[in-house]
């Protein structure tokens, strides 16, 4: 009987990955298509990807697939052959990471979800078949220069904070499901404009574009392959980057540098910085921006309190952590407080 789940501790697997000398390629991809039996499809993926030593995080639902993975570079062609053997995914565009050290993931996790992107949409007449028009990097740059263009960032604040397109509008909300109706409301007086939506890899902005069309908008576009694909295209074609700063990514790297611009600030001292990190206190693990000086001064922790706990003996730390459910914490500078947040993409 095939093993359909990992049985080795995450920490051991992480150490194995860090010791690997063979190069890996980090890839993301998604596709909206109907999957009749997500559980069966999930198991089929796991069996075949595990054979290829693929690591990463994949979500499967009736509406499609969303994946962020790393593949041993020597298995890249075999991976493509397998993926493209699945008829709806044949010749699917793969987003290859821009700033990649191959250390993005260390375990394969494939989960069945109600939706591959939590959207809060309960309207049975909504369909992903009617979505906005794709734009590539060259078209994106051209549209951004036109006065009748509005560009909307469909990511969270902590993503927007370290990098975004010039003049992009941020939807000030905590989750994608909140952003969708807010975007509709904010754009009510701009229905005659060209509305371009973008996100990290394309999956959120594609759904957002369909939602805008569903709500009566006409000239809706979305960036094909998101920021990741845009960065690859401008590099290949020698185009000017209209995206400035870093692209936040949902893996161990926490960011891909697109331009040298540093547009964010350290959350502790306020100096220019755009490196996200997780607080070293295992009872916290807050995601926040920290400069090198504060990393040294606070031992990689977010507060004096966490630093004190971090430097206690392990047994004392474990006692303090008992009963704490920290979830996935992110410093939301827009609201100046800490709150639990879930990965969106």
Distance CA 10, CA 108 (A): 10
Any idea how long the chain is?
A: 345
Distance CA 65, CA 55 (A): 16
Q: What are phi and psi of 274, to 5 degrees?
A: -145, 25
Q: What are phi and psi of 287, to 5 degrees?
A: -90, 120
Distance CA 56, CA 274 (A): 24
Contact 107, 53 (CB under 8 A): no
Q: Is 199 a catalytic residue?
A: yes
* Cβ-count burial 212-227 (b if 16+ within 10 Å, e if not): bbbbebebbbbbbbbb
Distance, CA of 313 to chain centre:
35
**How crowded is residue 161: how many other Cβ atoms within 10 Å of its Cβ?**
24
Strand ranges of the sheet holding 276-278, from the earlier edge strand across to the other edge: 276-278, 287-289, 329-332, 337-340
Contact 108, 56 (CB under 8 A): yes
Contact 316, 279 (CB under 8 A): no
Cα dihedral angle (55, 17, 311, 284), rounded to 10 degrees? -10
Distances (CA, A) of 156 to 30, 169, 227, 306, 330: 19, 12, 14, 25, 10
Show which residues are catalytic. 199
């Amino acid at each position: 009987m095939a093993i359909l789940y990992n049985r080795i501790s995450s920490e051991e697997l992480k150490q194995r990955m860090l010791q690997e000398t063979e190069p890996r390629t980090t890839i993301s991809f998604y596709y909206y298509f109907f999957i009749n039996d997500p559980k069966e499809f999930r198991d089929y993926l796991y069996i075949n990807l595990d054979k290829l030593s693929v690591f990463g995080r994949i979500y499967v639902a009736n509406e499609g697939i969303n994946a962020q993975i790393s593949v041993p570079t020597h298995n890249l062609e075999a991976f493509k052959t397998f993926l493209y053997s699945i008829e709806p995914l044949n010749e699917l565009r793969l987003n290859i990471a821009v700033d990649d050290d191959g250390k993005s993931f260390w375990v394969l996790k494939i989960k069945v979800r109600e939706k591959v992107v939590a959207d809060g949409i309960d309207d049975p007449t909504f369909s992903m078949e009617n979505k906005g028009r794709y734009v590539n990097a060259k078209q994106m740059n051209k549209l951004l220069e036109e006065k009748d263009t509005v560009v909307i960032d469909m990511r969270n604040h902590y993503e927007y904070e370290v990098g975004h397109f010039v003049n992009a509008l941020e939807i000030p909300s905590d989750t994608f499901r909140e952003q969708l109706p807010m975007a509709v409301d904010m754009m009510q007086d701009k229905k005659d404009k060209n509305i371009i939506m973008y996100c990290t890899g394309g999956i959120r902005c594609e759904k957002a574009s369909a939602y805008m069309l569903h709500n009566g908008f006409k000239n809706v576009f979305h960036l094909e392959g998101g920021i990741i694909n845009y960065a690859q295209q401008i590099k290949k074609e020698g185009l000017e980057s209209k995206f400035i700063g870093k692209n936040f990514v949902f893996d161990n790297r926490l960011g891909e540098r697109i331009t040298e611009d540093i547009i964010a600030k350290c959350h502790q001292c306020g100096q220019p910085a755009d490196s996200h990190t997780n607080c070293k206190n295992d009872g916290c693990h807050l995601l926040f921006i920290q400069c090198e000086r504060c990393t040294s001064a606070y031992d990689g922790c977010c507060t004096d309190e966490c630093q004190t706990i971090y430097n206690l003996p392990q047994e004392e730390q474990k006692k303090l952590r008992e009963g704490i459910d920290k979830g996935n914490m992110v410093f939301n500078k827009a609201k100046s407080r800490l709150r639990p947040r879930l990965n969106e993409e």
